[in-house]
């Protein structure tokens, strides 16, 4: 390979700068979009030498393939010496993180917002103006349920490696609890993708608020049971809030390795050991030692299996960020299509068009592997082929890299508004 320009520098000793609360500050980090046109695994080895953090990649189109990476100050010179074509996406990552705003507590209910006069008031919509600590997300879910007591219950889907319960909410319509096919949502499987739990909660809030006054919402909830798990990786999520903002995986330790964390979304026990996952415990895409060997995957997979064995799963969405994609099956192979692929393609494209109507935000749509990259052991392949889901998607929310995972809090509500418009199209047409 002509690429083997052996690295002529010693791997830098990068000691994370931390603030008084022990949180990594990312002082001096820059984020680059790098056009590699080289073998991905060779590039990843270079990233490791640079102690750089892989944020995102797109291998879908050869001429546009790229990695987004965060480079620590100690490695900027060595990275420059590699002479890649690179564009600066974020000049000062620490400043960008500061723009996310402080974590805010649960704001309480707003007595003027009631979905049902006989029920409790809904939480104040100011919830969607900021990001929040994990414990407050649980308070928020409990309050949502109290505001919709005849049509909802809190649910759990197993527990995490650190023994946190994976919490969610089940909503149903006029047919009664559990009487219809499922719509099943997972948020925040990747810990750093904070916008996903906020948007999943926004959508849940809108369903409850509008059930009695929006025909599309009422018809949808009368025809489907929603099973919603806003944060399926609670340990990783907490870790992003207390220590390392850009952490991706769970927090599982394994004997024989000092590396922490398995990628829950490369751990699904279907087409698990193929291209698009890593066998290296230190990798962000580490798939685990065996298929399905993370407690989080076990919990959310068994929950999905139960739904599949019951009324079936009509639509599954694994909510991610960033990149603005609506991804249909399959991830494990770019040349395989689902039996209903033509309908999936049309639905995804039109859902994207419906999203764009609010603010012009463009979502790229298509098969996961063909559009973005190969993903062995990913959720939508399992949900399609094993759980028999008609439409099993991954949606990558805002943005396309300007802020990446660190999306300013001011973009939570617009992200929710456009996603709700997209979902209303999908529900009406699927």
Nearer to Zn ion, 207 or 327 (CB): 327
Phi, psi of 94 (to 5 degrees): -60, -40
One of 137, 186, 320, 398 touching Zn ion (CB under 5 A): 320
Alpha-helical segments (H) within 192-246? 194-210, 215-223, 234-242
Determine the interface stretch with Zn ion among 23-31, 273-281, 318-326, 421-429 (rule: CB under 5 A): 318-326
Q: Which of 398, 385, 396, 427 is nearest to 226 (CA)?
A: 427
Determine the interface stretch with Zn ion among 64-72, 103-111, 221-229, 317-325 (rule: CB under 5 A): 317-325
With CB under 5 A, what is the number of residues at the site for Zn ion?
2
Joined together, the tokens standing for residue 277 give 């996952």
Return the ∠ at Cα 254 (arms to 250 and 256), rounded to 5°: 145
Nearer to Zn ion, 190 or 314 (CB): 190
Determine the distance from the C-alpha atom of residue 202 to the mean position of all C-alpha atoms in its chain, rounded to a whole number. 15
- Whether 396 sits among the annotated catalytic residues: the reply is yes
Determine the interface stretch with Zn ion among 77-85, 315-323, 335-343, 399-407 (rule: CB under 5 A): 315-323
Nearer to Zn ion, 137 or 190 (CB): 190
Place of tokens 């007591």: 149
Considering the complex, what minimum distance in angstroms separates the CB of residue 265 from Zn ion? 6
Nearer to Zn ion, 207 or 383 (CB): 383
Determine the interface stretch with Zn ion among 32-40, 97-105, 182-190, 381-389 (rule: CB under 5 A): 182-190
Facing residues of 33 across strands? 68, 87
Considering the complex, what minimum distance in angstroms separates the CB of residue 373 from Zn ion? 12
Side-chain half-sphere CA neighbours of 293 within 13 A: 13
Determine the interface stretch with Zn ion among 65-73, 93-101, 231-239, 316-324 (rule: CB under 5 A): 316-324
Joined together, the tokens standing for residue 27 give 């002082």
Considering the complex, what minimum distance in angstroms separates the CB of residue 324 from Zn ion? 13
Residues 6 or more apart whose CB falls under 8 angstroms from that of 405 comprise: 55, 192, 193, 194, 195, 245, 246, 321, 322
| CB distance 14 to 28 below 8 Å | no
Alpha-helical segments (H) within 289-411? 295-309, 341-359, 368-371, 379-385
Determine the interface stretch with Zn ion among 174-182, 188-196, 219-227, 266-274 (rule: CB under 5 A): 188-196
Considering the complex, what minimum distance in angstroms separates the CB of residue 235 from Zn ion? 16
Nearer to Zn ion, 56 or 389 (CB): 56
Considering the complex, what minimum distance in angstroms separates the CB of residue 130 from Zn ion? 22
Regarding 424 and contact with Zn ion (CB under 5 A), the answer is no
Nearer to Zn ion, 186 or 190 (CB): 190
CA dihedral (390, 374, 236, 361) in degrees, to 10, reads: -70
Phi, psi of 376 (to 5 degrees): -75, 140
Considering the complex, what minimum distance in angstroms separates the CB of residue 321 from Zn ion? 7
Phi, psi of 211 (to 5 degrees): -55, -40
Joined together, the tokens standing for residue 89 give 């996406």
Considering the complex, what minimum distance in angstroms separates the CB of residue 394 from Zn ion? 8
Binding mask 191-220 for Zn ion (x = CB under 5 A): ------------------------------
Nearer to Zn ion, 145 or 324 (CB): 324
One of 190, 192, 245, 398 touching Zn ion (CB under 5 A): 190
54, 100, 390, 396: the active-site residue? 396
| CB distance 72 to 52 below 8 Å | yes
Determine the distance from the C-alpha atom of residue 34 to the mean position of all C-alpha atoms in its chain, rounded to a whole number. 23
Nearer to Zn ion, 284 or 352 (CB): 284
Q: Which of 140, 154, 143 is nearest to 104 (CA)?
A: 140
| CB distance 324 to 363 below 8 Å | yes
| CB distance 247 to 16 below 8 Å | no
Considering the complex, what minimum distance in angstroms separates the CB of residue 56 from Zn ion? 9
Alpha-helical segments (H) within 107-214? 134-146, 194-210
Contacting residues toward Zn ion, per CB under 5 A: 190, 320
What residues are labeled active site? 396
């Amino acid at each position: 390979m002509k690429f083997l320009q052996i690295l002529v520098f010693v791997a830098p000793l990068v000691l994370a700068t931390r603030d008084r609360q022990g949180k990594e500050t990312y002082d001096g980090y820059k984020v680059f979009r790098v056009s590699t046109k080289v073998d991905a695994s060779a590039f990843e080895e270079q990233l490791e030498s640079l102690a750089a953090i892989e944020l995102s990649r797109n291998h879908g189109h050869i001429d546009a393939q790229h990695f987004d990476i965060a480079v620590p100050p100690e490695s900027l010179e060595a990275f420059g010496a590699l002479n890649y074509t690179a564009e600066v996406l974020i000049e000062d990552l620490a400043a960008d993180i500061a723009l996310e705003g402080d974590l805010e507590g649960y704001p309480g209910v707003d007595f003027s917002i009631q979905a049902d006069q006989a029920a409790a008031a809904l939480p104040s919509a100011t919830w969607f103006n900021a990001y929040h600590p994990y414990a407050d997300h649980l308070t928020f879910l409990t309050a949502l349920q109290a505001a919709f007591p005849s049509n909802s219950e809190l649910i759990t889907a197993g527990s995490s490696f650190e023994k946190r319960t994976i919490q969610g909410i089940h909503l149903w319509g006029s047919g009664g609890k559990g009487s219809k096919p499922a719509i099943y949502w997972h948020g925040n499987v990747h810990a750093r993708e904070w916008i996903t739990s906020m948007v999943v909660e926004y959508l849940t809030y809108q369903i409850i608020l509008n059930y009695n006054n929006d025909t599309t919402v009422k018809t949808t909830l009368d025809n489907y049971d929603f099973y919603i798990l806003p944060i399926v990786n609670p340990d990783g999520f907490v870790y992003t809030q207390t220590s390392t903002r850009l952490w991706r995986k769970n927090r599982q330790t394994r004997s024989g390795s000092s590396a922490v964390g398995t990628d829950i979304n490369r751990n699904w026990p279907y087409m698990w050991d193929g291209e698009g996952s890593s066998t290296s415990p230190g990798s962000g895409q580490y798939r685990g030692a065996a298929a399905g060997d993370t407690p989080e995957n076990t919990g959310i997979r068994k929950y999905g299996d139960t739904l599949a064995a019951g009324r079936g799963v009509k639509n599954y969405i694994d909510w991610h960020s960033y990149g603005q994609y609506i991804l249909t099956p399959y991830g494990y192979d770019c040349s395989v299509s689902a039996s209903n692929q033509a309908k999936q393609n049309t639905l995804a494209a039109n859902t994207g068009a419906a999203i764009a109507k609010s603010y012009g935000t463009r979502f790229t749509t298509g098969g996961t592997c063909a559009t973005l990259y190969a993903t062995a052991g990913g959720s939508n392949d399992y949900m399609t082929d094993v759980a028999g889901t008609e439409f099993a998607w991954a949606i990558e929310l805002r943005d396309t890299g300007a802020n990446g995972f660190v999306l300013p809090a001011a973009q939570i509500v617009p992200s929710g508004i456009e996603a709700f418009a997209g979902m209303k199209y999908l529900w009406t047409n699927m």
